[in-house]
Amino acid sequence: MIDYAKLTQALGDLDEDAVFEQLDLITKEENVDSEAAVKACQDGLAIVGKRFESNEYFVGDLIYSGDLMSDAFARLKPFIAGDISGKLGKLVFCTVKDDLHDIGKNIVKCMFETAGFEVIDLGIDVAPETIIAALKESKAKILGLSGVLTLAIESMKKTVEALNAEGMRDDIKVIIGGAPVTAEYCELVGADAWSINAAESVEICRKWAEEVYQ
């Protein structure tokens, strides 16, 4: 059985062999808790972040941790069972302008897809104009904005302002997420909801889908 504490520590230590030693155990489990494994990896990245802040790790380590997490998530993905029919409706999703972090976005995207959403993923560093164009073209009624840098909050705010300027705000539900996001930032940005938890994000959007795609 996976030892989640060991998995977290291995990721924090950037010990690839130890990370995959733990993840390989998942194939031997009957009731796989992929969410707990993702959370353990995410906690490992928090260790990486702290070591980066205290100058124990450098940018190269951040890059390596990102690759390691992406590989770990690829290993876990087949165990996240679900429905990829897109029947719940469309959802435009991206990491906002000036932010290049996409690990969290990709995890939440996978959860949205397995819940039954058709996700239109615009990628990273996405400007408000690009988001507006995608919403118009796809006619999606739900927008997810991801950002991990503190400055992403400003980009999220500008995106909501752009929706207002286009007269689209009342028709689009906006959810924001990523490590720095809080209830206060949600209010500042003018979003409808926020979350830093993938499963909770899906529940919020599932309820919205019943409302906006009826």
Q: Does 146 bind ligand B12 (CB under 6 A)?
A: yes
Among 7, 163, 175, 186, contact with ligand B12 (rule: CB under 6 A): 175
Among 52, 79, 118, 162, contact with ligand B12 (rule: CB under 6 A): 52
Among 90, 101, 141, 173, contact with ligand B12 (rule: CB under 6 A): 101
Least distance from ligand B12 to the Cβ atom of residue 139, Å: 19
Cα separation, 79 vs 159, in Å, equals 34
Q: Does 177 bind ligand B12 (CB under 6 A)?
A: yes
Cα separation, 98 vs 95, in Å, equals 9
Among 159, 178, 208, 209, contact with ligand B12 (rule: CB under 6 A): 178
Q: Does 19 bind ligand B12 (CB under 6 A)?
A: no
Q: Helix H segments across the chain?
A: 4-12, 16-24, 34-53, 59-76, 103-115, 128-138, 152-165, 183-189, 198-212
Cα separation, 30 vs 80, in Å, equals 13
Q: Does 4 bind ligand B12 (CB under 6 A)?
A: no
Question: Cβ closer to ligand B12: 26 or 37?
Answer: 37
Residue count of the chain: 214
CB atoms within 10 A of CB 115: 20
**Residue 144: beta bridge partners?**
93, 175
Residues of the shown chain interacting with ligand B12 in the complex, contacts defined by CB under 6 A? 42, 45-46, 48-49, 52-53, 59, 62-63, 65-66, 69, 98-105, 107-108, 144-146, 148-150, 175-180, 195-198, 201
